Structure 1
Amino acid sequence: MNEQDGRARLEGVLAANRERGRPALIGYLPIGYPSVPASIEAMLTMVGAGVDIVEIGLPHHDPIMDGPVIRQATESALRGGTRIADLFTAVKALASAEVPVVCMTYWNPVERYGAERFARDLAVAGGCGVIVPDLPSGKAAEWTASTDAHGLARILVVPPDASDERISRIASACTGFVYAAGRLGLTGSGEVDIAQAKNLVNRVRRVTTTSVCVGFGISTPAHAAGVAPLADGVIVGTALVECLAASSLDAGLTRLTTLIESLAASLQTPALTPRATAC
């Protein structure tokens, strides 16, 4: 795997889906829940069911953006001994599935591991990008240099109540795609607000030509279909993690497959809104 082609592969999948008139379906699961091998099997199951891009969550002791479902899953993963090395193992395992893989992590684990080392090891494993929702402004230059050096997309989160200045600043720092939060609050704590999401996506598109993907509160085919005309990608997390809280892994994988197939079907003909040109 060429570590320099990660961002290009991610952007290529987003562009290919856009040409087909549908957004990419991005599925999130944390590594290590319910175990490392089981989580990797679940990620491969997601791909087989219709996910276009896999987002792997790195468990963290203080997941400030996440609601109770993901928080409990990541706490379980940490109790089970999940480590950063397991993230790279999962990325390598997914390489044969030929889908882009991005990592969702908070800054503290990256800083402790070493920003350049983290970017290098993720790229070597076959990763395409990193979502960091809490990147400190004082670390932005270091992170930009590290991700650019290893061909990784640099993805930040824009909240719906952001000022125009903040939107412009965040969007200009992103490569691969901009993560637009479809509602205020934590992940899994309420339904996506379609009107709010549309307003935010339009505001982001006024300042960048980078793809915009929407997450937070998307758990059903109806939610996904509502967001589809707005976005280059639809991100689903909590609802997928809930599937794995089943009586057995097989039952969880069956639930996961059924939900993803229905989500993917809801994105087939959304008639994407034409993309605006940045000012």
Structure 2
Amino acid sequence: MLPVAPSTPPPAGDDPLAPLLDLPGVRDAVDRARTACEELRWHEAFRRRWREVRAEADVRTARAGAAVDGARVPLDVLRGVATGVDRVGPAAGPASVGTADPDGPADLRVATGALRATALAAGWRPDLGARTVPPLPPLGQVLARLHAAAGAGWLPDADLGRVRAAGAAPRDLTGLGAAPDGAEAAERLALLTRTVGATRAPALVVAAVVHGELLAVRPFAAANGTVARAAARLLLCGRGLDPTGAVVPEAAWAAAPLPYLATAARFATGTPEGVAAWVGACADAVVAGAAEGRRVADAVLAGRLG
């Protein structure tokens, strides 16, 4: 839950997320995430082959993110979808990722949606070493487009990119408890968009708040986890914490999905302890994701990718 109630906009000139830096352990979490990303930045693979590292990291991100939601697909299968070797439908969407076959395996449809959302987010990331960073659209627009990409082919078209209607409960992440109704969800998304636009808090804190709030609100009919993780990873890169674009926080979440959801539920309470625990967990995922990024970079240099 955001530190400011939806009905109370932050005062002009105040950073709405600055108070989170004073919560126990948050500054340390920011520092350890920054150190892990800085160490990864100097890997030899990023001198000339950073695009290959990013591409493989994106596939692993999509696979691990789908696994968090219970959709388990072999890495080589999803890599084949990403490269066009295996098709699950006609080419469409970011990076020519195929549209999931509505008659195909459910896990593959969900994983392909995660891959498509990851590919869309990749188009907003700055190039490594770029002197200028292209501005992101407002967060609300980013989330709608991520959801349309994630849900295409397995969610009804009427649900894609749209906040749940009044009285419609989300169909995913039920272990997090009741979600706000559609009207409140829309209001909280608007506040979240304003908050992200106004804050200069460290990227880790911004990404953690966006990630946690989207899991708490679950504004869409389904695929809320995919959207939350894709948006958080995009913010880590776009706001400068992970310039490589190769950190894979999803690897940590996939290895421990129950603690992930339990800590997200603590964030949703809005208590200082719950928010601090969530930011710390996000930092741990970035550290683990940087280690996964290093494994990808090692494999690219050694020519060991499948």
Q: TM-score, normalised by structure 1?
A: 0.30
Larger Cα-atom Rg: 2
